[in-house]
Structure 1
Amino acid sequence: MKRLLFITERFAPDLGGLARSGTRLVATLSQLGIEVDVVTWSRYLQPGEVLPPETVDTKLRVYRIGLYRHWDMTMPHTLNVLEWLHSSHQYDGVWGHYLFPSGFLATWFAGLQGIASTVSARGNDIDKEMFPPGDFSRLQWTLQHTQVITAVSADMAGKIRLLSGRDDVLVLKNAVDTEIFAPQQVIGEISRESLGIAPEEVVLGFCGELREKKGQQFLLNALTTVRNQRPACLLIIGEVRANQESVLQFYATQQPENAQRIIVTGHLPDTPAVAAHLRLCDVYLQPSLWEGMPNALLEAMACGCCCIASDAGGIPEVIIHGENGFMMPRSQLHKLGEAVLECLAMPSTIKSQITQAARDRILQEYSIAQEQQRLQAVIERLMPNSV
């Protein structure tokens, strides 16, 4: 049996698309017969503390390491832990999930040990790290020295080719469990009433960790615009990043009545709960400024939501404007509220066609089975004859 060391900054039960995708990929790798050890960092442990492994099943263990305040302490300490693990388990390959810090550390450690490495570009890895205060040289070194590179979208793969000069980047699309994320409601599912949503209110939805790059100011402006015309609320399925809460507080001082119609669920326990909240949304909004390929948008489409998104990152690869959703140029996101009102005014027959086309798109291109096939191709290149 082949053994893989999987390094990721976030892993379940952590928040966000990075944790979701990493957790899902590791589960699929395990199903492919790969023994996987996950190493992830935690802000909730003492600096340098290493918890005993969480044994998920016979092929999967999770090691959590307490973060130091700065990476110049965290990195060398993590290398010590990786060396200890490798001496015990003799890995055949190392996977870095996200280009920094995980991808760099995976590539460096694998080089020191003489084993294969792969890095996975998932979100705004490139857009963030190539500009100050990101480290361009470290980013480029990682891309040039790892054996296998995967990108979550064709858009990102193109940027990696430009940066690294390599033409062997594999596109490993995000995937959705289409049985959980489906339009059909489950008996006993959460109701609008339980969240304090009035019967006549339109529900504008957003899922994930709300922050600047996700277009939070445009969401707030859209809520104001829509509520000027009709009753509405903004349902944030997830949390607001701590350093962005001041934006909501300022909005509350300027628009106190509108701010009262922002409902924040907090971290939800599992994916069925996320799906149940998505099904409450009349319109799902993804006004991102930077993106890879947002899990939340794919999940909303799978649930049959009517989606309005920006044209950031890989979003144009999944949304065909007017056919399975609506897309806005990032330069026009100040008109998001007007777009929502136009969407709400559509005849129900056209809306049904669009939402069905959205789900069909996910079934055709972003299913778990398709991800498994793509993942198998990655593993065969990384660790030949392993599956």
Structure 2
Amino acid sequence: MSGLPPGERQPGGRRRGARRSHAQSILRDLRRAVAVRGRRLLQRGRSRVAPSRRHGRGSRRRRRGGLRSVRDMRGRLLWLTEHYPPGKGGMAVSCARLVRGLRKRGPVPVDLLALAGAGGPEVSERPADGGLDIWVRREKSPEVAPNLAWSVVRERHAAEPYRGVVAFGASGAGLVAATFGSWLNAPCVVLVRGNDLDRDWFLPRRGAWVREALARAASIGAVSTEKAERIARLYPGKPVVWTPNGVDPRRWELLPADERQRDEIRRMLGADSRRIVGLFGELKFKKRIPFWLEAVRDAGLLPRLGLVVAGQLDEDTSRILDDPAIAPRSVRFPFLPQSELPALYAACDFIALPSAFEGMPNVLLEAAACGAVPLVSDAGAMRDVVEDGVTGFVFRAEDRDAAGEATRRALESGNEDLAAMSAAVRAMIRERFSPEREIDVLTDLLRQAGV
């Protein structure tokens, strides 16, 4: 749980084991706070039942394009994904949020088809509020799961036709969704999320999947404006729309227990004499944590910051964080559920995302909603969210010197300037990246495709 080597003393004479016990204590307190947060959100949900369904089934409110006829509202929507809870990571979180939002909005049921997981029965179905969850176990041979899935889809389509198919991701899910859409004679919408274009496009097998999916799509959504522009140039004349993520700031408000844990983490890292930077999520190769730490070291900034690290680390990054010669003091946590993250986000002055390529990280919006100022590369949707010097600090993704200089500017910000920047990014999140707007954009895209 610590960036210090075994046996090295911390301020106050505590050794590494003491810090580990503090971090474990923080985890226990965070989990006790989850029940309180859940009750509060449930109470809010009950008080907002009517507003949240104002565009749902039975609504008489006129929306863009006018009221649909009863005939237009028949059928179901099929949603395909390779990422869904209990799977971890931003893709699973985003997929669940979109499916939940569409099911609440209506007007047609949404059947989720998840090609995911390695255990349990080959095929399972579970009724859900606003649709059906269909799980098809993903085997080592990529052709098994789609064929099992097609048997289920064909049978359900015969009973109640699917009016459209959505692919969450353009590679594996995209190929299957585009194929099923053609077989069902239903329009397919493909949502490009990040790795499918940045990485998979350049791989021989998965690249063929992406190209086939995008070629067959009736319309395409992309999670960043720069990806939308690149796709439009590859497929001129095909509708391509920016479909950004959304976040509900109310879900990230701090409870008293969160505030206590925030203060404890900051005390552990010595926030009175250094700035605290957060690293969250799947901290894999493309996130380039070693690249950023080298930039911080070369700029002579290691003693001026502490790290809150929460998520999945690769072996190289873990080894670097364990070496105080090349990494600052840190406190580390495993992957945590969203309900336990507000205190950790709020403990940070900055959220760092030095990625080489990116989609639109949920952690960027979540941490910003908790007041952390972004310190990011210009990859992916980061430039859609962060304006350098106004709502955060931005550097060119490939430039290590620029990364060090941006970090220096961030650390040298005065408290008043930092508070103003934090308020600005929070306001921008509320105005531009709300869950309601996220679903509005998606439903418009579906309508454009004829779904």
**Corresponding residue SS for 1:312:** coil
1:148 to 200, 211, 219: 219
> 1:107 Cα shift?
0.7
What TM-score, normalized by structure 2, do the two folds share? 0.75
Q: For the structure 1 residues 215 and 81, does the alpha-carbon distance in structure 2 shift closer, same or farther, using more than 3 Å as the test?
A: farther
Could you say which residue in structure 1 is the equivalent of 2:333? 265
Distance (Å, rounded) in 2 between the aligned partners of 1:191 and 1:147: 47
* Higher mean C-alpha displacement, 329-338 vs 365-374: 329-338
Report 1:1-387 matches (<5 A): 1-33=74-106, 34-45=108-119, 49-53=122-126, 55-57=127-129, 59-182=130-253, 185-189=254-258, 190-193=261-264, 197-200=268-271, 202-221=275-294, 224=297, 229-230=302-303, 232-240=305-313, 245-251=314-320, 255=323, 261-269=329-337, 271-333=338-400, 336-383=403-450
Distance (Å, rounded) in 1 between the aligned partners of 2:81 and 2:132: 13
> 1:260 Cα shift?
8.7
Q: For the structure 1 residues 145 and 315, does the alpha-carbon distance in structure 2 shift closer, same or farther, using more than 3 Å as the test?
A: same
The answer (yes or no) to whether the contact 2:115–2:145 under 8 Å persists in 1 is no
Q: For the structure 1 residues 147 and 205, does the alpha-carbon distance in structure 2 shift closer, same or farther, using more than 3 Å as the test?
A: same
> RMSD over aligned Cα, in angstroms?
2.6
Q: Deviations over 1:250-272 (max 9, x none)?
A: 4267x257669443322222x33
Distance (Å, rounded) in 1 between the aligned partners of 2:308 and 2:373: 15
Q: For the structure 1 residues 60 and 373, does the alpha-carbon distance in structure 2 shift closer, same or farther, using more than 3 Å as the test?
A: same
* Higher mean C-alpha displacement, 150-159 vs 126-135: 126-135
> 1:195 Cα shift?
9.2
Distance (Å, rounded) in 2 between the aligned partners of 1:115 and 1:89: 13
Count of matched residue pairs: 373
| One-letter code aligned to 1:212 | F
Distance (Å, rounded) in 1 between the aligned partners of 2:285 and 2:237: 32
| One-letter code aligned to 1:42 | A
Distance (Å, rounded) in 1 between the aligned partners of 2:327 and 2:302: 16
> 1:206 Cα shift?
1.7
**Corresponding residue SS for 1:119:** strand
Distance (Å, rounded) in 2 between the aligned partners of 1:280 and 1:223: 20
Distance (Å, rounded) in 2 between the aligned partners of 1:5 and 1:61: 10
What TM-score, normalized by structure 1, do the two folds share? 0.87
Q: For the structure 1 residues 260 and 204, does the alpha-carbon distance in structure 2 shift closer, same or farther, using more than 3 Å as the test?
A: closer
**Corresponding residue SS for 1:61:** strand
**Corresponding residue SS for 1:69:** coil
Return 5+ residue gaps in structure 2 as ranges.
1-73
**Corresponding residue SS for 1:292:** coil
% same residue: 27
**Corresponding residue SS for 1:70:** coil
The answer (yes or no) to whether the contact 1:298–1:362 under 8 Å persists in 2 is yes
The answer (yes or no) to whether the contact 1:225–1:338 under 8 Å persists in 2 is no
> 1:196 Cα shift?
8.4
> 1:132 Cα shift?
2.6
Q: Deviations over 1:151-197 (max 9, x none)?
A: 11221111111222234112211111121235xx3111134536983
**Corresponding residue SS for 2:221:** strand
Q: For the structure 1 residues 339 and 77, does the alpha-carbon distance in structure 2 shift closer, same or farther, using more than 3 Å as the test?
A: same
Q: For the structure 1 residues 32 and 350, does the alpha-carbon distance in structure 2 shift closer, same or farther, using more than 3 Å as the test?
A: same
The answer (yes or no) to whether the contact 1:35–1:60 under 8 Å persists in 2 is yes
The answer (yes or no) to whether the contact 2:75–2:161 under 8 Å persists in 1 is no
> 1:43 Cα shift?
3.3
| One-letter code aligned to 1:17 | G
Distance (Å, rounded) in 2 between the aligned partners of 1:238 and 1:88: 43
> 1:317 Cα shift?
1.7
| One-letter code aligned to 2:230 | K
> 1:249 Cα shift?
4.7
Distance (Å, rounded) in 1 between the aligned partners of 2:369 and 2:257: 20
> 1:138 Cα shift?
3.1
Return 5+ residue gaps in structure 1 as ranges.
none
Distance (Å, rounded) in 2 between the aligned partners of 1:311 and 1:232: 22
Distance (Å, rounded) in 2 between the aligned partners of 1:109 and 1:77: 12
Distance (Å, rounded) in 2 between the aligned partners of 1:135 and 1:258: 37
Q: For the structure 1 residues 354 and 247, does the alpha-carbon distance in structure 2 shift closer, same or farther, using more than 3 Å as the test?
A: same
> 1:13 Cα shift?
2.8
Distance (Å, rounded) in 1 between the aligned partners of 2:399 and 2:381: 18
The answer (yes or no) to whether the contact 2:178–2:216 under 8 Å persists in 1 is yes
The answer (yes or no) to whether the contact 1:221–1:334 under 8 Å persists in 2 is no
Q: For the structure 1 residues 264 and 222, does the alpha-carbon distance in structure 2 shift closer, same or farther, using more than 3 Å as the test?
A: farther
The answer (yes or no) to whether the contact 1:15–1:208 under 8 Å persists in 2 is no
